[in-house]
Amino acid sequence: REKDSFSSSERDEITKRYMSFLEWLIKFCLDNTYSNKHFGSFLITTSTLLHIIEHITLENPHLPVAPFFNSKRVHDSILSCLVIDTFEDNKKLALKLLFALRHTRQNGQETHDLSLDQLGQVAYQLVNSVNPAHSLTCQYVFKLIIGYEEISSDVHKNKLIYKHLDRLVSLVESGVRETRDNFILTLKHNAIFPKLTCIRALLDEINIKQLESDKCDWKNLAGRLVTASIEACQSVSSIVCNMNPETIGHLPMDQEPIDIHKLSENLDRSVQISDAHINTITSQHLLITGWKTIKECSLSMGALCTQLWWPKDANLGEPILESNHIRSIIEFFKHYLRNLRHRGAFEQAYNGFIMV
């Protein structure tokens, strides 16, 4: 601001000192951006990096700041926070920072690019995991894939979202079929709820105004999702609608293997598990997959109604979600809000119901 009051040599010295400080600050923040770091510290370091990118790097492209972000190490470090970190708030910040780095590349400053194909492979591996942390990671990886892709228009973005939704719905349908053969092992090794978590995350990314050209495909996909969600809940209803779901053969925190005979009696259905698998399954596995399946189905159908049933700002002529699907969804909520015995499942079903 007062550059006229300084000589040329003084300005050069000030710039040199400023750049030295900026280099140190960037390095310090990057060194302190790692997974599972305390949220307060993570917030400060990522916010500082975002400020540097948005208000210094982009507005002053002549400054030699961009090279600090042009490395595989930087991207891998931030990406590990998105994938490995167990704090959702940290994942959100890491996602925002990765998008900011993507923005610098769009403005002519070359940075290391992410391998979206590899990220997709990671996401589709994690969607089978019963670990709730993995389902949380999946949805943020999909958000990164959708947001980081170089897409020319919202129409193309919707097509990319449709491709992933179609594949995820197919995986849900496959999982539902497997539960008919052996629902215990399917819930343990091919959990349905992570796929529904990702579906719900992708539904939020759709630009409703750009669906007119592919309306028939989206209608078909919405119908498949409603049917698959209802059938997925039917596969776990004997768990979450049980008179005492928190004690399916064991106390809530008991990590001992399940008792097959007692489990069959409590669930009122025949349960067949080989000796090789019986020691790997506990009542907690069943409870987690049961109530989270109800949760994700309820919230996914609520999101469907919110997003695809005659949105106010979209000139679709007619809704994507048809009336018979709405009736099926309402009947679903009527049934489970009456019969659910698991408190967490009931609360999440109610949250989905009020979206309808």
DSSP string, 170-187: HHHHHHHHHHHHHHHHHH
Q: Dihedrals φ, ψ of 249, to 5°?
A: 90, -15
In a domain, 232, yes or no: no
User: 157 near 211, Cβ under 8 Å?
Assistant: no
In a domain, 64, yes or no: yes
CB atoms within 10 A of CB 16: 10
- What is the rounded distance in angstroms from the CA atom of residue 158 to the CA atom of residue 202? 10
Q: What is the pLDDT of residue 108?
A: 46
In a domain, 65, yes or no: yes
- What is the rounded distance in angstroms from the CA atom of residue 188 to the CA atom of residue 286? 8
In a domain, 30, yes or no: yes
Q: What is the pLDDT of residue 1?
A: 47
Look at the chain and report how many structural domains it folds into: 1
Q: What is the pLDDT of residue 50?
A: 83
Q: What is the pLDDT of residue 165?
A: 93
Check residue 194 and report its DSSP letter.
Answer: H
- What is the rounded distance in angstroms from the CA atom of residue 297 to the CA atom of residue 200? 9
User: 97 near 147, Cβ under 8 Å?
Assistant: no
Q: What is the pLDDT of residue 304?
A: 87
DSSP state letters, 85-135? ---HHHHHHHHHHHHHHHHHHHTT---PPP-HHHHHHHHHHHTT---HHHH
In a domain, 91, yes or no: yes
User: 166 near 203, Cβ under 8 Å?
Assistant: no
Q: What is the pLDDT of residue 253?
A: 47
User: 148 near 106, Cβ under 8 Å?
Assistant: no
Q: Tell me the CA end-to-end span of the chain in Å, nearest whole number.
A: 56
Structural domain including 24 reads: 14-108
Q: What is the pLDDT of residue 273?
A: 61
- What is the rounded distance in angstroms from the CA atom of residue 245 to the CA atom of residue 252? 9
- What is the rounded distance in angstroms from the CA atom of residue 176 to the CA atom of residue 1? 66
Which helix (H) or strand (E) covers residue 285, if one does? helix 283-308
- What is the rounded distance in angstroms from the CA atom of residue 118 to the CA atom of residue 145? 10
- What is the rounded distance in angstroms from the CA atom of residue 114 to the CA atom of residue 200? 24
The three-point CA angle 190-192-195 to 5° equals 110
Residues facing residue 257 across a β-bridge:
282
In a domain, 341, yes or no: no
In a domain, 20, yes or no: yes
Which helix (H) or strand (E) covers residue 143, if one does? helix 132-148
User: 267 near 239, Cβ under 8 Å?
Assistant: yes
Per-residue pLDDT of the chain (356 residues; tens, 9 = 90+): 455 566 777 777 777 787 788 888 888 887 877 766 666 777 888 888 888 877 776 566 566 666 666 667 777 778 888 888 878 888 888 888 888 777 555 444 444 556 778 888 888 988 888 788 888 889 999 998 888 766 657 778 888 899 999 999 999 999 888 887 776 766 667 788 899 999 999 988 888 777 777 788 888 999 999 999 999 988 888 777 775 555 444 434 455 555 656 566 555 555 666 555 555 666 777 788 888 889 999 999 998 888 876 555 555 567 788 888 889 999 999 998 988 887 788 888 899 898 88
In a domain, 169, yes or no: no
